[in-house]
Amino acid sequence: MPSTTRVNSVIEIERAGDVALIRIDNPPVNAAGRDVRQGIEDAINALAGDDSIKAIGLYGAGRTFVAGADIREFGKPPLAPSLPDVCNTIERCGKPVVAVLHGTALGGGLELAMASHARIGLTGLRVGLPEVLLGILPGAGGTQRAPRLVGIPFALDMITTGRHLPAAEALEHGLIDQLKDGDPRDVALASAKAVVAGNLKTRRTDEIAVEPNDAALEAAKAKIAKKTPHLFSPVKCVEAVAASVTPIDEGLATERHLYIQCHDSPQRAGLIHAFFAERAVAKVPEAKATPRPVQKIGVIGGGTMGSGITTSALLAGFDVTMIEVAAEALERGTGTVRKNLEGAVKRGKLAEAKHAETVARLGASTDMTDLADADLVIEAVFENMEVKKEIFTKLDGIVKDGTILASNTSYLNINEIAACTKRPQDVLGLHFFSPAHVMRLLEIVVADKTAPEVVATGFALAKRMKKVGVRAGVCDGFIGNRILSHYLRVTNYMVMDGATPEQIDDALEGFGFAMGPFRVSDLAGLDIGWAERKRLAPLRPAAERVIEIGDRICENGWFGRKTGRGYYVYDEGDAHPNPEVANIIASERAKAGVTPRDFTDQEIVDRYMTAMISEAARVVDDGIALRPVDVDAVFLFGYGFPRFRGGPLAYADTIGAAELIKRIEAYAKEDSHYWQVPDLLRRMAADGSTFAQLNEGK
Ligand code: CAA
């Protein structure tokens, strides 16, 4: 008769004849926190000294094997036993240990498995060493044992990309020994018995020799230097893998030393903040409401945004009807969607076999009444309040009761749009970012009367579309574009005062942005900002410093990449600064009587980031964003903010409120209208608090 003994709150041993099973039960993802580590260590030691036991099976309860170390413990004082020690205990155990993996075996989870003496994967398993994505390296022997099992080239691929491998690939490369179907506990029992019967071979990973491969190491270093020049941990990953050709104790010591360097780097803190930010934003007051069922979606507008939204919805399995005013525009819009879907197949985002079925879910019409039975309608026409109001009034009379009406507006007032319907409780903003089938951010804009279940439906939609939904309040530009409008002004001020657009772009790319602000504006189209400036001109306070360089550029018909010319000139893939822009800048400076001065790259970054943080602080204080982390997520997933810096307000904590105020007050000597100290920063400086504390509700 099998008997079970509890080792601690998360680990149990089951004895069945001459084999024993160790069960890990630490929901939701069996993260290897202190109790898991201590429990496994104690269980292995107990079983190693038990003469009746000949083999041990290790498996996880619930939806997954171990999904990694407990990320919440990072940055806190270490708690013994460490994961490397537990892995060593398993590897050195005199009894064979077979790990049975289901769900995911990631990071420390895969390291526990690699230290075991055989690995069985269950159907659907995904494995990987994603530590690099958190700014660290697989520090529980992963950099030493992976090369022993799969060779240096494949280990480098796994460790430097952090990608998740499907079970078949893990089997093909020898990371797992067998792939089976079944329940983890039953397979663990059968596998342990198979070991005893001599039907399943086991071996110690540390006894496998690694074949040196300097070429692969050099190639990995070159790839990292090109693709992620700002990141610290990928380089350390390669250095650690290089040490795998030495005896394992030496290699493990090198790995530990490099791991500590990564762990202590600010990039680790930033990347882990980003990991939790992605999950924290779903925790909103409306999360408990039940989302309305959505299957049929209407999208009004077949332009870039409408086509992108339609593509994203089709990829998520919805039935979508696109509406355009004229047949020709509709044909263009659906053509773009079809092209996007073909691209999705090429990029591996859509299985070839599912392509026809996905295209078949696309409907098209020039008649809005075809949306009568839609569950959700997303309006994505150009930014004009009158046009939007007309559409919403019409839709209100067409769609069934309970249909949710959403606007993809980037700036306009959702309350005003909702007010022209008889169902303001069913109206919200769903602000996608271009290209909508690629960018992960979705701002879910909650108007005064939006019902909680409508907000919950927005979040459910984001999840199904694999997007990061962030709750935003109503104001001009919501979270992202409101902050963007503010800090873009500082780039113009710096250009007027002496910097060049390319110097600003280069400085910010050096800080880690994927693209500088002028390159982004050229890509998005300079006419967009121009229209926005014209819209806001009548509302502009008299004290505001106005720079017209951008207007002069647009007056020439230079709207950026799409016209071949903007801040840069685009010649067959090559981009260089537009010489005419330098003339425009010189003439605008002369007109305003400005004598240009030099800017250092550091000053550019400081001014840009201080402007961004200032408006972000106001957005939090005004309740437009629920917490600082919501602002961080918006910038990480919608604006190419360097992930390793965690987001604008996580970065602000590394500077501190007092220092930020000092900077703002110094800049205010030049322009006291633009540079004003946000009240929130003043309060934070007074009580020494941080944005991180605000995230925790402190
Ligand atoms: N530690 C702590 N908490 C974790 C965690 C971890 N390793 N992984 C997931 N969680 C938490 C999430 O924060 C989330 O919590 P809330 O519900 O409170 O928001 C909960 O578990 C469920 O996670 P998801 O919402 O992400 O669930 P999912 O089903 O969408 O994805 C997953 C599951 C694929 C495992 C995903 O959570 C994931 O990728 N986790 C991280 C895996 C990872 O990076 N592991 C390596 C850790 S580093 C390491 O192991 C270091 C080392 O070598 C010593």
The whole-angstrom separation of Cα 289 and Cα 537 is: 41
Same domain for 196 and 68: yes
Count the neighbouring beta carbons within 10 Å of the beta carbon of residue 563.
16
Nearest CA to ligand 1 atom 35: 67
Residue 302, pLDDT score: 96
Residue 305, pLDDT score: 94
The whole-angstrom separation of Cα 318 and Cα 493 is: 46
Same domain for 122 and 78: yes
Same domain for 526 and 403: no
Residues lower than pLDDT 70 in the chain: none
Taking the chain, what is the end-to-end CA distance rounded to the nearest angstrom? 52
Nearest atom (ligand 1) to Cα of 72:
2
Residue where one domain finishes, among candidates 446, 479, 512? 479
Are the C-beta atoms of 32 and 112 separated by less than 8 Å? yes
Residue where one domain finishes, among candidates 479, 503, 528? 479
* Ligand 1 pocket test, candidate residues 40, 71, 136, most atoms within 8 A of CB: 71
Instruction: Give yes or no for residue 255 CB within 6 A of ligand 1.
Output: no
Same domain for 306 and 253: no
Same domain for 451 and 304: yes
Q: How many angstroms separate the alpha carbon of residue 467 from the centre of ligand 1?
A: 17
Same domain for 546 and 410: no
Are the C-beta atoms of 359 and 320 separated by less than 8 Å? no
Q: How many angstroms separate the alpha carbon of residue 498 from the centre of ligand 1?
A: 47
Q: How many angstroms separate the alpha carbon of residue 70 from the centre of ligand 1?
A: 8
Residue 582, pLDDT score: 97
Domain boundaries, position 618:
481-623+626-695
Q: What contacts 310, CB < 8 A, 6 or more positions away?
A: 299, 302, 320, 322, 333, 337, 362
Residue 484, pLDDT score: 95
Helices (H) and strands (E) in the chain, counts: 29, 20
Residue 636, pLDDT score: 97
Same domain for 373 and 402: yes
Nearest CA to 116 out of 87, 84, 139 is that of: 87
- Strand ranges in 288-403 using DSSP code E only, listed in sequence order: 296-300, 319-323, 362-365, 376-379
Residue with tokens 């020039």: 366
Amino acid of residue 134: L
Per the structure block, which two tokens stand in for 176? 């797992």
* Ligand 1 pocket test, candidate residues 10, 29, 104, 283, most atoms within 8 A of CB: 29
Within its chain, how far is the Cα of 228 from the centroid?
16
Per the structure block, which two tokens stand in for 315? 């990829």
What is the domain-level CATH number for residue 447? 3.40.50.720
Same domain for 470 and 501: no
Residue where one domain finishes, among candidates 222, 250, 266? 266
Total count of residues recorded for the chain: 698
Same domain for 324 and 245: no
Nearest CA to ligand 1 atom 36: 67
Q: How many angstroms separate the alpha carbon of residue 425 from the centre of ligand 1?
A: 35
Residue 337, pLDDT score: 98
Query: Whole-model pTM?
Result: 0.92
Q: How many domains does the chain have?
A: 3
The whole-angstrom separation of Cα 389 and Cα 417 is: 6
The whole-angstrom separation of Cα 516 and Cα 210 is: 43
Same domain for 345 and 332: yes
Q: How many angstroms separate the alpha carbon of residue 342 from the centre of ligand 1?
A: 32
Instruction: Give yes or no for residue 146 CB within 6 A of ligand 1.
Output: no
Q: Given the DSSP bridges, would you call strands 427-432 and 441-445 parallel, antiparallel or unpaired?
A: antiparallel
Instruction: Give yes or no for residue 60 CB within 6 A of ligand 1.
Output: no
Q: What contacts 428, CB < 8 A, 6 or more positions away?
A: 404, 406, 414, 444, 445, 446, 447, 450, 454, 455, 458
Residue 2, pLDDT score: 78
Report the catalytic residues: 111, 131
Instruction: Give yes or no for residue 130 CB within 6 A of ligand 1.
Output: yes
Nearest CA to 135 out of 11, 23, 272 is that of: 272
Q: Which residues pair with residue 459 across a beta bridge? A: none
Instruction: Give yes or no for residue 67 CB within 6 A of ligand 1.
Output: yes
- ipTM of this predicted complex? 0.93
Same domain for 544 and 675: yes
Nearest CA to ligand 1 atom 15: 279
The whole-angstrom separation of Cα 301 and Cα 305 is: 8
Per the structure block, which two tokens stand in for 261? 């360097």
The whole-angstrom separation of Cα 287 and Cα 283 is: 6
